[in-house]
Amino acid sequence: MDSSRVVSRHDWLEARKALLVKEKELTRQRDALNAERRGLPVVKVGKHYVFESPDGRVGLADLFEGRRQLIVRHFMFDPAWDAGCPSCTAACDEMSAGLLDHLHTRDTTFAVVSRAPLAKIEAYKAEKGWDFPWYSSYGSDFNYDYHVTMDESVAPPVYNYRGQAEHEELGTGYYFDGAKSVEEPGHSCFLRDGDDIFHTYSSYARGAETLGGSYYFLDLTYLGRQEDWEEPKGRAAELRTATPDFLT
């Protein structure tokens, strides 16, 4: 340890207060950014997607499990692979029953979708001891339409809203390295209004770093945390209190 970094409590407190000013500014900036995210326009999902589940074939509306919002984690699991992506696995290892319960109290469902056949998904899920809903999009356009599977024979490859040439210029061409069909991670958010479903948001690459807890998940969605301080107003039919225990 660098001994020059050891200071008195007084000096530490002064440095901590200076940093707190920047942290508070970042908090205000994050709140403003989340408000802009909730202010994004939405796109009606017109295509009928079919997924495989342990209960049979289901549509996108079924993934909501009766709730108004849906967060989909695009888990990298190519049909030819025998196991899921290690980084996606590490992220899903952090999912807990408590986090899912918190999302459910805010009318939001979390689900995982991969292209691997259901049998492989179920075997891997059992091996990991996971119990969150995980669906197979094998044979569906879902992964291609939400740009987490890239295959030039299907569509021009796009990841994180940039094409391959743009990524090459930016030095991020590695997103397209490897086999003809490339899997990438991401999250997509959907809103259900009656029988209509709307795509409200997707994030990719390092955007997943913000998913560090229930509030961060909710910050990605159209309705947000559903608390009275959030902008824009009038989104949620029932406002919640800003209590981290999610009981109200």
Give the separation between CA 43 and CA 155, rounded to whole angstroms: 20
Where does 146-213 have alpha helices with state H? 164-170
Orientation of helix 118-128 relative to helix 86-93, angle to 10°: 50
Angle in degrees, CA 85, 86, 87, rounded to 5: 95
For residue 4, being part of any structural domain is answered with: yes
Read off the pTM.
Answer: 0.87
Residues 73, 87, single domain; the answer is yes
Where does the chain have alpha helices with state H? 9-38, 60-63, 86-93, 97-105, 118-128, 142-145, 164-170, 214-219
Residues 12, 102, single domain; the answer is no
Backbone angles phi, psi at 186, to 5 degrees: 175, 175
Residues 111, 188, single domain; the answer is yes
Q: What is the pLDDT of residue 234?
A: 81
For residue 226, being part of any structural domain is answered with: no
Q: What is the pLDDT of residue 231?
A: 84
For residue 75, being part of any structural domain is answered with: yes
Residues 87, 201, single domain; the answer is yes
pLDDT in tens, 148-173: 999 988 888 899 999 888 988 988 88
Q: What is the pLDDT of residue 164?
A: 87
Give the separation between CA 170 and CA 123, rounded to whole angstroms: 39
Residues 132, 31, single domain; the answer is no
For residue 174, being part of any structural domain is answered with: no
Residues 11, 93, single domain; the answer is no
171-178 long-range contacts, CB within 8 A, separation 24+:
175/205, 176/150
For residue 64, being part of any structural domain is answered with: yes
105 beta partners: none
For residue 54, being part of any structural domain is answered with: yes
Residues 131, 17, single domain; the answer is no
Count of domains for the chain: 2
Q: How many Cβ atoms from other residues are within 10 Å of residue 120's Cβ?
A: 21
Say yes or no to pLDDT of 1 above 60: no
Say yes or no to pLDDT of 106 above 90: yes
- Residue 70 makes CB contacts below 8 A (sequence gap 6+) with 60, 63, 64, 108, 109, 110, 111, 189, 190, 191, 192
- Residue 226 makes CB contacts below 8 A (sequence gap 6+) with 106, 107, 218, 235, 236, 238, 239, 240
Say yes or no to pLDDT of 82 above 90: yes
Residues 23, 96, single domain; the answer is no
Say yes or no to pLDDT of 180 above 90: no
Q: Which two tokens stand for residue 169?
A: 């210029």
Where does 39-80 have alpha helices with state H? 60-63
Residues 120, 10, single domain; the answer is no
Residues 14, 130, single domain; the answer is no
The boundaries of the domain holding residue 2 are 1-38
pLDDT in tens, 193-227: 999 999 999 999 888 777 766 778 888 888 988 88
Q: Do residues 67 and 132 lie in contact, with contact meaning Cβ atoms separated by under 8 Å?
A: no
Which of 11-15, 40-44, 162-166 has the weakest average pLDDT?
A: 162-166
Identify the DSSP state of 45: -
- Whole-angstrom Cα Rg for the chain: 20
Could you tell me the CATH number of the domain that includes residue 203?
3.40.30.10
Q: Please compute the mean of the pLDDT values over residues 124-140 and round it to a whole number.
A: 97
For residue 126, being part of any structural domain is answered with: yes
Higher pLDDT, 119 or 240: 119
**244 band by pLDDT with thresholds 50, 70 and 90:** low
For residue 7, being part of any structural domain is answered with: yes
Residues 107, 133, single domain; the answer is yes
Residues 95, 213, single domain; the answer is yes
- What separation in angstroms does the CA of 60 have from each of 52, 140, 171? 11, 11, 35
